[in-house]
């Protein structure tokens, strides 16, 4: 289960605020001359695009003012904005996020899809280099890169030439005796996908043995004295990449295997297809919402903002109170209908408001080729809607 990447509870308050909302995802990297030149004209272009999409002048002006360069983040980097009533409600820089074409939308609810997709691709990692004299412990966020992409160098070094690039958030220097305790604290607070321990052989094995059971389950030693002068950082990087690839593959395989198993048991603890997924969310039954790439085409990639063929074609009704989401108006019960929203945005909103987890999978990965599925908190009664 991916907890760190898609813990959206901190954003749930946004859904209680009245729209319309403007969503912007734009490139703000400063790593090249071309990107700096583009930053001079892009704010005005996005202002005009928002106005053309029905945004108010105040909202469009707020977006233009907020689209400043992300200093110190290099390339690629994006800025994600949510704006309403002339005010920027959310402003996040997304390091490592590539945006080929700005994504601009105006709607009745805030669209958190770009933010959740970015989170789903970032994995926290703890690395430690230890010897008798001390320990260097780093918390980094690794981001899976598209195979074949020519990625620019990432500040802080490491992983940019392989499957993953990374950014280092914080570094601690501890006594060797304190290393295990510091790593255990990070595991509890940040839920890393992997822990890699390099350095003097005796010291790294000692640290590994002192870790908690939870930490040991995701830890491995690196057969290199990574704290010595002149140590090759690629040795550590190679181990980390392998651990991350295995962690991601195992997690996704386990999720899809469970969906396949539930499908074979007639889906008593799962539901497949948009209609069945919506009905499960209406009843707050969903433990995990699973969305396929077919429903969540990456905003900002392949000209999604300008190519009509890439725009989301399926919309759902969003409501101002429980059950939060509907396929048809007669499902709203006593809740007011706010309007229609892209299916992915509406599903993510309902998941956040009912405290469900969120996972993304590739096209056709969900059994029966469904665009969406859910794992349920409890077995429904006989009247649970089936897939339509």
Q: Supply the pTM of this predicted model.
A: 0.73
Q: What is the pLDDT along the chain (388 residues), one digit of tens a residue?
A: 333 344 567 788 899 899 899 999 988 876 554 555 566 788 899 999 999 999 999 999 999 999 877 666 666 788 899 999 999 999 988 877 778 788 899 999 999 988 887 765 567 889 889 888 888 888 887 765 433 222 223 333 333 334 445 556 566 667 777 889 999 999 998 888 889 998 888 988 999 999 999 999 999 888 888 777 766 777 787 888 788 877 777 778 888 888 888 877 665 788 899 999 999 999 999 999 999 888 876 555 443 443 334 444 589 999 999 999 999 999 998 999 999 999 999 999 999 999 998 888 888 888 878 899 999 998 765 544 444 4
Q: How many CA atoms lie within 13 A of 174 on its CB side?
A: 16
Q: Which residues contact 377 (CB under 8 A, 6 or more apart)?
A: 285, 286, 287
Tokens for 162, please give them.
């392989």
Contact call for residues 331 and 282 (beta carbons, < 8 A) = yes
Tokens for 255, please give them.
């999720």
Q: Give the 3-state DSSP-derived string for 254-283, with helices as H, strands as E and coil as C.
A: HHHHHHHHHHHCCCCCEEECHHHHHHHHHC
pLDDT at position 178: 86
- If you search the block for the tokens 């057969």, which residue do you land on? 223
Starting at the earlier edge strand, list the strands of the sheet with 270-272: 270-272, 372-376, 286-292, 357-361
pLDDT at position 381: 58
């Amino acid at each position: 289960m991916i907890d760190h990447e898609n813990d959206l509870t901190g954003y749930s308050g946004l859904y209680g605020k009245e729209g319309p909302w403007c969503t912007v995802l734009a490139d703000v990297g400063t790593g090249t001359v071309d990107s700096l030149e583009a930053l001079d004209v892009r704010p005005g272009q996005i202002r005009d695009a928002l106005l053309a999409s029905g945004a108010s002048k105040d909202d469009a002006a707020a977006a233009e003012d907020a689209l400043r360069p992300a200093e110190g983040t290099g390339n690629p980097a994006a800025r994600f904005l949510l704006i309403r009533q002339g005010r920027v409600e959310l402003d996040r820089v997304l390091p490592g996020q590539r945006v080929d074409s700005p994504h601009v939308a105006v709607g009745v609810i805030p669209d958190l899809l770009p933010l959740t997709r970015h989170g789903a691709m970032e994995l926290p990692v703890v690395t430690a280099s230890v010897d008798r004299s001390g320990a260097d412990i780093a918390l980094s966020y690794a981001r899976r890169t598209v195979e074949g992409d020519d990625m620019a160098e990432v500040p802080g070094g490491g992983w940019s030439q392989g499957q993953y690039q990374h950014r280092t958030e914080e570094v601690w220097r501890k006594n060797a005796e304190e290393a295990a305790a510091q790593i255990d604290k990070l595991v509890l607070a940040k839920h890393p996908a992997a822990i890699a321990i390099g350095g003097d052989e005796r010291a790294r094995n000692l640290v590994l043995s002192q870790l908690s059971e939870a930490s040991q389950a995701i830890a491995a030693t690196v057969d290199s004295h990574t704290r010595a002068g002149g140590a090759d950082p690629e040795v550590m990087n190679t181990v980390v990449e392998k651990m991350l690839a295995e962690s991601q593959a195992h997690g996704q395989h386990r999720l899809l295997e469970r969906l396949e198993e539930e499908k074979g048991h007639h889906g008593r603890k799962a539901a497949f297809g948009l209609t069945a997924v919506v009905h499960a969310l209406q009843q707050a039954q969903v433990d995990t919402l699973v969305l396929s790439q077919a429903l969540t085409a990456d905003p900002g990639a392949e000209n999604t903002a300008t190519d009509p063929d890439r725009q989301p074609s399926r919309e759902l009704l969003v409501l101002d109170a429980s059950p939060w989401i509907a396929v048809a108006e007669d499902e709203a019960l006593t809740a007011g209908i706010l309007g229609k929203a892209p299916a992915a945005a509406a599903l993510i909103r309902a998941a956040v408001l009912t405290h469900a987890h969120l996972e993304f999978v590739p096209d056709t990965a969900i059994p029966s080729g469904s665009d969406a599925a859910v794992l349920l908190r409890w077995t429904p009664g006989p009247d649970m809607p089936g897939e339509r």
